[in-house]
A = this chain, B = another copy of it.
Amino acid sequence: MDESEFLQEYDPTAYEPLSVAVDLVLMTVVDGAPAALLVRRADHPHLGRWALPGGFVKPDESLDDAAHRVLATRAHMQGAWVEQLYSFGAVDRDPRMRIVSIAYFALLPAERFAAALTAAPELMLATIAVPWAGETGGPVEARGPDGAALPLAFDHADILGLAMLRLRGKLDYSAVAFALLPDLFTLRALQDVHEAILGTPLNKPAFRRRMLDRGWLEPTGKRETGASFRPAELFRHRTNV
């Protein structure tokens, strides 16, 4: 029996299939605090609770494709930095049936959320409160604009917590911070993003020099407008390194 004969006789149903979904941790930084996009559940289970935008993976699309589809159709956004985070597969994580969920995070600057939030009333941009420090990790809390805690659906508090931990870890050596900023940004804005994600204040001159020495920033010569004080220089992220 050669390979093509084998494939013709092969019976895929011999192995019990599972449902596979992707969940998107779509994050940004607003007013010095990390935030994530949540969807109010309109159905059972966990009706009324807040969930990450997600969807089932179709047989003819890759995991990455599914993540981008969810970004476009559920979150009404595009052009995000998308990166796989972790896969969650506890047997009872969904009461309906067995679902394995591949969590992705997607990063965008805060301005990009405005259109989606007005277009889709079930969406909300929730502030993320991190109750742990350092490397420990664990679930986080989501808060509405009034500061009230939002009840989260399924294991999504854990997924959000892992996303925050990973974001903190990658901040120093990867370009994730730039995905949370517009094309042109000031060093102060970059520092604000770092401080929001790390949850600690940073020393201004040290941060400045570290960023400039790294060679990832391209000075544009342009300056910000509208400030009632000395306008800061605008930088761009240099992608070709």
Contact = CB atoms under 8 A, between A and B. Distances in A.
A47 interface: yes
Contacts of A60: 91
A18 B17 contact: yes
Interface in A1-46: 1-3, 6-7, 10, 12, 15-20, 43-45
A125 interface: no
Nearest to A174: B135
Interface stretch (A94-102, A110-118, A217-225): A94-102
A57 interface: yes
A96 B7 contact: yes
B12 A47 contact: no
A98 B59 contact: yes
A91 B66 CA distance: 11
A229 to B, nearest CB: 39
A3 B48 CA distance: 12
A78 interface: no
Interface stretch (A81-89, A138-146, A185-193): A81-89
Nearest to A103: B87
A102 B89 contact: yes
Contacts of A86: 84
Contacts of A95: 3, 7
A151 to B, nearest CB: 14
Contacts of A3: 44-45, 47, 95
A10 B91 contact: no
A90 interface: yes
A62 interface: yes
A58 interface: yes
A46 to B, nearest CB: 8
Contact of A17 (B20, B43, B84, B87): B20
Given A17-B18, A20-B89, A59-B91, 16 more contacts: A2-B44, A3-B44, A7-B45, A7-B95, A10-B97, A12-B19, A15-B19, A16-B58, A16-B59, A18-B57, A57-B89, A59-B98, A62-B91, A63-B87, A63-B100, A84-B86
6 contacts: A12-B96, A12-B97, A16-B58, A17-B20, A62-B90, A63-B89
